[in-house]
Structure 1
Amino acid sequence: MFLAIRAYLGWRQTWMTSDTASMSSSSDFEAARIALGQQLRGLRRNEGLTARQLAATCGWHESKVSRIENGKALPSPADIRTWAVACGAGSRADDLIAMAANIQLMYQEWRHLERDGMRRVHDQVQPLWDMTRTFKGYAQCLVPGPLQIEGYTAAVLRGVQRRRAIPDDVDEVLRMRAERQRILREKGRSFTIVLEEAALYYRIADRQVMTSQLSRLFVVSAMPTVLLGIIPRSADRSVMWPVEDFWIFDDREAQIETVSAFIDIKQRAQLSQYQEAFDHLKQQAVFGSDAYPLIAEALQCV
């Protein structure tokens, strides 16, 4: 199950490393197509069909099956439904069609959303943050936005702006991000946030900012709306290893952070995988006073 998570978004590399600069929207799009092709291949093999047999059943050339399975082509909704029915898995068609539509939307966002800067992305996701009551967040290498101090957020946004070579609207977005943090103090909302311990050590900003940011974690963990957990580096990861950063909103929608944008997950099958992944990650974390020594140790290393 968790292999499917990494297959769907397995192209994601660690933010803030030199490797991210070379990654393009086209390579991300290709990886997502490959993930869809792997799921379709699984349907075919579960039915015991060869690629040639499936092509004959669907009235296609065998090369079409190969191109789809290897991520060289994105199948149409009609192609996916025909494929699923031929494999005796018609009930899977809607989820797979939605996944293909999401891939296409994802590609358009990467090409267009940030052409004028980062504000458009912020404006698009803000209504979801406003309406959500229950947040679940996981971060592998960055302190999540709602917990960030201004200096840390500025360093992250500046890094993104320079790396993607997009118009500079950082100051405007920084003000909007600061305003979003009001929801941490609003009654009726709850945040369960799980961090990898490694996220405490990545030097995103200068020493003074990092010291203030880590100190801020003590403050937010005491808020009645926040349950902050940290997964120790010594934790047994045989069941659930580090994955891509993500948020789950009211258990209805997930957003996964990528190098260039984000992906919305609303399909039941994929959403349930992230919900289950979060539960496993949470089980590996320590909370409250048990997490304080990990933060304190990181502070000593700044």
Structure 2
Amino acid sequence: MPAPISSSVQAARQRLADQLKELREDAGLSGRELARRAGWSAGVAKVSRIEHGHRPISIEDLRRWCEACGISEQRTAELLAELRAVATMWTTYKRLHRAGLRRAQESVRSDFEEVTLLRSYQSRSIPGLLQTEDYTRAALDTVRREENLASGDADLDAAVVERMDRQAVLRRPGKRFVYVVEEDVLWYRPYPRTVHADQLRHLRAVATGSLPSVVFGVIPRTVDRRGNRPREAFIINDEALVTIELVSGYLRITTSDEVAVYVKAWKGLQSLATRGPGAAALIDQALDDLTGSG
């Protein structure tokens, strides 16, 4: 697991561990006494490993910890919710796709259904909600082959339908979607040329206002970007959730201080992007080169 992933997850685990330690101390319990009340044969060693973040606590152990400390049901529920959030921070693509491509697409749908303001930065590929059906099919088929998934064509077809159906959120009132991509994304061609050409035509329509809820910007290759280097792809949902796309999986961040770091990075990257006619011109250049009409 790359350092940024492990450090973020470990920091979240330690925040929870620190709270558990405070609960024990506030209850006036030693580690040995807590372990005795919880019925742990490992004794104080287990308590120490949990409090130092060396051992993730289970749901059952957290319940026992709270019971031993005399914690209210409401506070216990809050800690359980935090534990579940920590447990789901890092998800490998292998784990995500374990039940198939369709189920993987369905599992993240609520992120898009519930969001009011979505801000997306992409340095590698076309954002999912802006993909054409053929581009989505090619992308998901590539995932299937690269990860050696047992999914058949029926699962692939269902996953494409799910992804396309999800795009209905772009037309719902009260929602806003702001996208920034690096210009190189327009030039990457991992799929057939016709697929890319149709995708670029769709992006041009979006950039010039075909979807009123969407703002689409492109960071030109030639822009002066001192202080705003390219980043890993990420999505910010209402300043409450950041989803970061990495090679082996994705990281979900909900702590306010870390979310704020990505909001700051987003603002810097967005300031470099050109929109409207400027974005359309950059798309046209990539499209002309692709189709030979330049």
Q: Do both proteins adopt the same fold according to a TM-score greater than 0.5, normalized to the shorter chain? A: yes
Indicate whether 1:286 and 2:282 are aligned. Answer: no
Question: Aligned equivalents of 2:156 and 2:12: distance in 1?
Answer: 39
**In structure 2, which of residues 230, 237, 244 is the aligned counterpart of residue 256 of structure 1?**
244
Question: Aligned equivalents of 1:141 and 1:195: distance in 2?
Answer: 8
Output the aligned Cα RMSD: 3.2
Letter in 2 for 1:156: A
Structure 2 counterparts to residues 124-135 of structure 1, below 5 A: 124-135=107-118
Alpha-carbon displacement from aligned partner over 1:198-235 (angstroms, at most 9, x marks no partner):
00011031111111100111111212111110001112
Structure 2 counterparts to residues 216-295 of structure 1, below 5 A: 216-221=202-207, 222=209, 223-295=211-283
Q: Does the 8 Å CA contact 1:140/1:198 hold for their aligned counterparts?
A: yes
Residue of structure 2 in register with 1:22 after alignment? none
Task: Tell me: CA distance 1:103–1:167, structure 2 relative to 1, closer, same or farther (3 Å).
Answer: farther
CA shift at 1:286, angstroms?
A: 0.6
Question: Aligned equivalents of 2:90 and 2:275: distance in 1?
Answer: 38
Mean Cα deviation higher: 280-289 or 252-261:
252-261
Identity of matched residues, %: 31
CA shift at 1:259, angstroms?
A: 2.8
- Aligned pair count reads 233
3-state SS of paired residue (1:230): strand
Alpha-carbon displacement from aligned partner over 1:222-251 (angstroms, at most 9, x marks no partner):
121111100011122221111111111122
Q: Does the 8 Å CA contact 1:152/1:204 hold for their aligned counterparts?
A: no
Question: Aligned equivalents of 1:103 and 1:33: distance in 2?
Answer: 12
Residue of structure 2 in register with 1:298 after alignment? 286
Letter in 1 for 2:164: A
Residue of structure 1 in register with 2:166 after alignment? 180
Task: Tell me: CA distance 1:158–1:115, structure 2 relative to 1, closer, same or farther (3 Å).
Answer: same
Q: Does the 8 Å CA contact 1:110/1:260 hold for their aligned counterparts?
A: yes
Q: Does the 8 Å CA contact 2:91/2:250 hold for their aligned counterparts?
A: no
Q: Does the 8 Å CA contact 1:99/1:267 hold for their aligned counterparts?
A: no
Letter in 2 for 1:291: A
Letter in 1 for 2:139: V
Mean Cα deviation higher: 183-192 or 108-117:
108-117
Question: Aligned equivalents of 2:55 and 2:189: distance in 1?
Answer: 39
Residue of structure 2 in register with 1:5 after alignment? none
Per the normalisation by structure 2, the TM-score is 0.69
Structure 2 counterparts to residues 191-202 of structure 1, below 5 A: 191-202=177-188
Alpha-carbon displacement from aligned partner over 1:7-47 (angstroms, at most 9, x marks no partner):
xxxxxxxxxxxxxxxxxxxx45x76325667999xxxxxxx
Residue of structure 2 in register with 1:144 after alignment? 127
Question: Aligned equivalents of 2:222 and 2:125: distance in 1?
Answer: 19
Indicate whether 1:213 and 2:199 are aligned. Answer: yes
Question: Aligned equivalents of 1:134 and 1:184: distance in 2?
Answer: 11
Question: Aligned equivalents of 1:206 and 1:176: distance in 2?
Answer: 22
CA shift at 1:187, angstroms?
A: 2.1
Question: Aligned equivalents of 1:39 and 1:122: distance in 2?
Answer: 26
3-state SS of paired residue (1:284): coil
Task: Tell me: CA distance 1:74–1:278, structure 2 relative to 1, closer, same or farther (3 Å).
Answer: farther
**In structure 1, which of residues 160, 171, 177 is the aligned counterpart of residue 157 of structure 2?**
171
CA shift at 1:155, angstroms?
A: 0.9
Task: Tell me: CA distance 1:264–1:35, structure 2 relative to 1, closer, same or farther (3 Å).
Answer: closer
- What runs of 5+ residues in structure 1 fail to find an aligned partner? 1-26, 41-59, 78-97
Residue of structure 2 in register with 1:120 after alignment? 103
- The structure whose Rg is larger is 2
Residue of structure 2 in register with 1:33 after alignment? 6
Letter in 2 for 1:297: Q
Question: Aligned equivalents of 2:93 and 2:55: distance in 1?
Answer: 17
